[in-house]
Structure 1
Amino acid sequence: MSLLSLLFDPRGAIDRRAFWSGLIQLTIVSLAVVVGLTVVDMDVAWAALPAVGEAWVLSDVAGHLRHAAPPDVPLIAGVFLVAARLYATACLMLKRARDAGKRPHALIVLGLASLLVHVLVGFWVYDLFPEGMAIIAPLAADAMVTAVLGLVFTTWLGALRSSPASGPARSWRLSPG
């Protein structure tokens, strides 16, 4: 299975080893994007980091809404980076859940819980926005809560054994093409 199909194709199933390998690969890619974008625009670079990226984009969205400003290129790029990383993570988790014989309900609940945290913190940031540095507290809370939710779910999912009913899982190997 190629790296692109591992990260961006929701079909199939993967074993525990492929799941953890995929998460490590995704983290390395995210860090490489951060380093590469630091030269271009630091505001966009922050969006590539797991947990921090969502909070960073959230503050940017709240600032644009507060000032009734149209979205600019850094905001759009940040939203794109967060969406791409979340999609790749969801693909990995769906494939892993399928291999473990689990339905995607838990992943949907995690996504909705994280979205609820982001929306609630977004309202908090929106109210505090003219206060300047005061928005750091809600952004830190957002990053910590969603990181803990994600870490607990990822550890649980990554620890599950493969289900015999799911059939053979495809292990990930970097293959040409």
Structure 2
Amino acid sequence: MSTLYVEQPWTAMSLLFRPHYRVEVFDEQDAPVAVVSERTGPGLQRPLRHTGFSGWTTFDLDVVAPHGQPIMHIGKGFGRRPGVHVSTPQGQLIGTIKTHGAWQQSLHDANGQQLCFFGDIARIETGARAKRHGKRVRRDRVQINPQVTEPLRSLATACAVAFDVVRGTGTRHTSSGGVDWPA
């Protein structure tokens, strides 16, 4: 299994009032792999981002390598569980991710054909606590089967690095132990 660690700030303020999505991704050797952040801010949806409805808002995420090279784009429309679109930096659709429940996501190719479920090719453990540069972070551990090829590898990676967006919790987290209160 290929292992990624997806980290985000974990402070009282970030748990309750973080309006922007931003995570850092590291490999098994603790080397930086990518940064995932919003292309633009939440704009008029900002008040919703401070509530349990954060996961309902739109997200426009860029995944960028540590040296600044764009890797992929992840977009989600407004609503509880709309499909998440994953595309190349040039805008070519790689595929989509559909959420059927907080812990069940299906991966679809660019034509909409379901390829598999995320859990068929990857495992994710959410909510671990750690320290990075002296600051507390929530660390999700993701293992993706190394034999997985494209477009599944990109879709599984997108699902993992934007898991809170994909499963519909957004940026607000109010509980401990890796479980979030539903909106």
Q: How high is the TM-score relative to the length of structure 2? A: 0.30
Of structures 1 and 2, the larger Rg is shown by 1
Indicate the structure with greater strand content: 2
Indicate the structure with greater helix content: 1
The structure whose RCO (Cα within 8 Å, separation 6+) is larger is 1
